[in-house]
C-alpha cells in the first residue's frame, strides 16, 4: 500500500495505540493508511510499554518523512463502588439501595462508596450512574455516612464499577498522583500533546499547565457537564479541545450530545485552536471489518462541521481491524471534502478576524483562495500561531507550514489543513520567496504555472510578527537550484 498523500484531505486522523497496534510494523501500516497522530492512553499499560511505543512512533515518523504528533491521554480520577459478597449483586428496579462508608462487602441492598467527598456534596434528587450508566440511582436522602437512593434502572452490579455524578461539581482535582507521574513521563519522553481528563473548571486546566512548565501543548477533554457550563474559560486556557463523548454521553441524555458537540466545535473553531471529536466513531469495527452506516454518518458530520481531527479509540487500540479502521475513516473524510456542498457546510462558523495585522492577513489568505485558483498557502512560522490563524479561516487551499522547530511541526499534525515540515529558517524576503517555491515543488504543492500565497513576518524569526503576504507563481525549475 502506498502512503496517503497528506494534501488529500484537511481533517486529521488521531489513532489510539494499544495491544493491537503498538508494534513498529502496525504503526507503519497505520501511517500509510492515513493516521496523522497517535494517542497513547495512560489508563492502560506501564511506562516501559509506553516508552517503547513512543520510540517506535518516532522511528516510523523518520522513515515516513512526515511530522507525527503524539498525544498522551491522562487517566484522571476514577470514582468506583466497593466490592460485593461473591463479587456481584442485583439491584431491583424501584428498590432502595444505600451507598455508605462501611468497609464491608456489599449486598443487594448496600455497598461501600470509598469517596468521602461525594457524601459532602450529594443532595436529594441528584443522580448517580453506575457502570457507564447501565444502572441509574436517584438520591432520596444524603447524609455524612449514608446516601439512600432509589433504583430508577436496576440490574446486576459487580465489584469496582465506575460511578458518574452528572448533577454536581465533584470536589476532586483533575490530576491524581498517578496522573502527575504520567504527566512527568510524557513530558520527559517528548509528547507533543497532553490530554487532560475529568476537567470540570478552568482551574483544572491551569493546574495542569503549571505542572507542564511550558513543555507540550494541553488538550482539555470535555467529558463532564460542569465543563460545558464554563467552556469559554476552558477553551481560553487550553491549546486544544477534545469532545470526549464517552463519559459526556453517560452523564447527559443521549439527545443532548449532538447539539452540544456542535456547540463546542463551533466555539473552539472560533478560537483558532484545534478541536477533536472522539469516542465510538467506528465502534463496530472493534470486531467487524466494516462500520455501520450510522457510524459513517457520524464521522462525516464531524468532517462537515470542520473539526480539526477525528479520533479512533478501541477500534485501533484493541480491535481486530486497526488498519482498516484508519483506512475507512480516511476514505470517509476524502469523500466529504470532495463534496461540492462541503465548503458551504464547513463555513457554518463564520469567524471575524481580530483587529490585528496577523488576523487580517490570515483572513485575506482565505479570501484570495476563494477568488484565485491556488495550489497552496506557504506559511513560515516559529511557534505555529500563524498557521493556526490561517486554519481558523478554513481556506480552500492546503497549507504547507515551514518551521525551524520540529516541536511546532509535530504539534501542527493535529491542525486542520496543515502539512508541517521542519526546515532551516529564512533570513530575507528573497530567501522566503525562493524557499517557499522550492519547498512547494518538493512537497508537491503545485507545478509550473501554479499560484501560491506565501505568508511570513518581518523581521524574520520574530514571534508574532506576521505582516507579509505575497502571491507567487511557480516556474517549475526552482527545485533544481538549491537544496535545504
Q: What is the pLDDT of residues 148-196, one digit of tens each?
A: 999 999 999 999 999 999 999 999 999 999 999 999 999 999 999 999 9
Residue 3 has pLDDT above 60, yes or no: no
Residue 134 has pLDDT above 60, yes or no: yes
Domain end residue (candidates: 107, 137, 164): 164
Residues 319 and 195 in one domain: yes
Residue 385 has pLDDT above 60, yes or no: yes
Residues 220 and 291 in one domain: yes
The answer to whether 112 touches 209, Cβ cutoff 8 Å, is: no
Residues 366 and 335 in one domain: no
Residue 352 has pLDDT above 80, yes or no: no
| CATH code for the domain of 68 | 3.20.20.60
Average pLDDT rounded to a whole number, residues 83-106: 97
pLDDT band at 484 (very low <50, low <70, confident <90, very high): low
CA–CA gap between residue 22 and residue 484 (Å, rounded) = 33
Average pLDDT rounded to a whole number, residues 374-381: 94
Residues 71 and 92 in one domain: no
Residues 225 and 136 in one domain: no
Residue 480 has pLDDT above 70, yes or no: no
- Tell me the pLDDT of the chain averaged across its residues: 93
Domain end residue (candidates: 164, 196, 220): 164
**Which residues are part of the catalytic machinery?**
39, 80, 221, 279
Which residues touch 148 (CB under 8 Å, ≥6 apart)? Answer: 96, 98, 139, 140, 141, 142
Which residues touch 130 (CB under 8 Å, ≥6 apart)? Answer: 81, 136, 137, 157, 161, 162, 163, 164
Average pLDDT rounded to a whole number, residues 87-116: 97
Q: pTM (2 decimals)?
A: 0.94
The reported pLDDT for the residue numbered 252 is 92
Residue 417 sits in which domain range? Answer: 357-480
CA–CA gap between residue 462 and residue 383 (Å, rounded) = 10
Q: In this predicted model, what pLDDT tens digit does every residue of 29-48 receive, in sequence order?
A: 999 999 999 999 999 999 99
| CATH code for the domain of 433 | 3.40.1380.20
Residues 18 and 37 in one domain: yes
The reported pLDDT for the residue numbered 454 is 94
Query: Quick one: CA dihedral 419, 420, 421, 425, positive or negative?
Result: positive
Domain end residue (candidates: 277, 304, 339): 339
Q: How many CA atoms lie within 13 A of 408 on its CB side?
A: 20
Average pLDDT rounded to a whole number, residues 446-456: 91
Number of folded domains in the chain?
3
Residue 4 has pLDDT above 60, yes or no: no
Domain assignment present for 345: no
Residues 274 and 187 in one domain: yes
Residues 246 and 321 in one domain: yes
Determine what percent of the chain is predicted with pLDDT higher than 90: 85
Residues 112 and 40 in one domain: no
Residues 49 and 123 in one domain: no
For the ranges 23-32, 339-348, 390-399, the lowest mean pLDDT is seen at: 339-348
The reported pLDDT for the residue numbered 16 is 98
The reported pLDDT for the residue numbered 2 is 46
Residues 192 and 94 in one domain: no
Q: In this predicted model, what pLDDT tens digit does every residue of 285-318 receive, in sequence order?
A: 999 999 999 999 999 999 999 999 999 999 999 9
pLDDT band at 274 (very low <50, low <70, confident <90, very high): very high
Domain assignment present for 199: yes
Average pLDDT rounded to a whole number, residues 478-483: 56
Domain assignment present for 351: no
For the ranges 306-310, 411-415, 432-436, the lowest mean pLDDT is seen at: 432-436
CA–CA gap between residue 58 and residue 91 (Å, rounded) = 49
The reported pLDDT for the residue numbered 1 is 37
Amino acid at each position: 500500500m502506498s502512503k496517503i498523500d497528506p494534501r488529500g484531505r484537511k481533517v486529521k486522523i488521531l489513532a489510539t495505540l494499544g495491544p493491537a497496534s503498538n508494534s513498529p510494523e502496525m504503526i507503519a501500516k497505520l501511517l500509510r493508511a492515513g493516521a496523522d497522530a497517535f494517542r497513547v492512553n495512560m489508563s492502560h499499560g506501564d511506562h516501559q510499554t509506553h516508552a517503547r511505543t513512543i520510540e517506535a512512533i518516532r522511528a516510523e515518523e523518520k522513515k515516513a518523512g512526515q511530522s507525527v504528533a503524539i498525544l498522551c491521554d491522562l487517566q484522571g480520577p476514577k470514582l468506583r463502588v466497593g466490592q460485593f459478597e461473591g463479587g456481584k449483586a442485583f439491584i431491583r428496579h424501584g428498590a432502595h439501595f444505600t451507598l455508605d462508608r462501611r468497609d464491608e462487602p456489599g449486598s443487594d441492598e448496600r455497598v461501600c462508596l470509598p469517596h468521602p467527598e461525594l457524601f459532602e456534596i450529594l443532595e436529594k434528587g441528584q443522580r448517580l450512574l453506575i457502570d457507564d450508566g447501565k444502572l441509574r440511582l436517584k438520591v432520596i436522602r444524603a447524609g455524612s455516612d449514608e446516601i439512600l437512593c432509589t433504583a430508577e434502572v436496576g440490574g446486576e452490579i459487580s465489584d469496582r464499577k465506575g460511578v458518574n455524578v452528572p448533577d454536581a461539581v465533584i470536589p476532586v482535582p483533575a490530576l491524581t498522583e498517578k496522573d502527575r507521574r504520567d504527566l512527568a513521563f510524557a513530558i520527559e519522553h517528548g509528547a507533543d500533546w497532553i490530554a487532560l481528563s475529568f476537567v470540570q473548571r478552568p482551574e483544572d486546566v491551569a493546574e495542569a499547565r503549571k505542572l507542564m512548565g511550558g513543555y507540550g501543548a494541553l488538550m482539555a477533554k470535555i467529558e463532564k457537564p460542569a465543563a460545558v457550563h464554563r467552556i469559554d474559560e476552558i477553551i481560553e486556557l487550553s491549546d486544544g479541545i477534545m469532545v470526549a463523548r464517552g463519559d459526556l454521553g453517560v452523564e447527559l441524555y443521549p439527545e443532548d450530545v449532538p447539539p452540544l458537540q456542535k456547540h463546542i466545535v463551533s466555539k473552539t473553531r472560533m478560537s483558532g485552536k484545534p478541536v477533536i471529536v472522539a469516542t465510538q466513531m467506528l465502534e463496530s469495527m472493534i470486531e467487524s471489518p466494516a462500520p455501520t452506516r450510522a457510524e459513517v454518518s457520524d464521522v462525516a458530520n464531524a468532517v462537515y462541521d470542520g473539526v480539526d481531527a477525528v479520533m479512533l479509540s478501541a477500534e485501533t487500540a484493541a480491535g481486530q481491524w486497526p488498519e482498516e479502521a484508519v483506512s475507512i475513516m480516511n476514505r470517509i473524510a476524502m469523500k466529504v471534502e470532495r463534496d461540492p456542498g462541503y465548503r458551504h457546510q464547513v463555513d457554518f462558523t463564520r469567524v471575524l478576524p481580530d483587529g490585528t495585522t496577523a488576523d487580517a492577513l490570515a483572513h485575506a489568505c482565505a479570501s484570495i483562495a476563494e477568488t484565485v485558483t491556488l495550489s497552496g498557502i506557504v506559511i513560515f512560522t516559529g511557534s505555529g500561531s500563524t498557521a493556526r490563524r490561517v486554519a481558523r479561516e478554513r481556506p480552500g487551499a492546503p497549507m504547507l507550514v515551514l518551521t525551524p522547530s520540529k516541536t511546532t511541526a509535530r504539534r501542527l499534525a493535529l491542525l486542520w489543513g496543515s502539512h508541517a515540515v521542519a526546515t532551516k529558517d529564512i533570513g530575507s524576503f528573497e530567501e522566503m520567496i525562493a524557499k517557499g517555491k522550492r519547498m512547494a515543488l518538493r512537497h508537491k504543492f503545485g507545478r509550473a504555472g501554479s499560484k501560491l500565497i506565501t505568508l511570513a513576518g518581518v523581521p524574520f524569526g520574530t514571534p508574532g510578527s506576521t505582516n507579509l503576504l505575497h502571491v507567487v507563481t511557480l516556474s517549475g525549475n526552482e527545485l533544481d537550484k538549491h537544496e535545504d
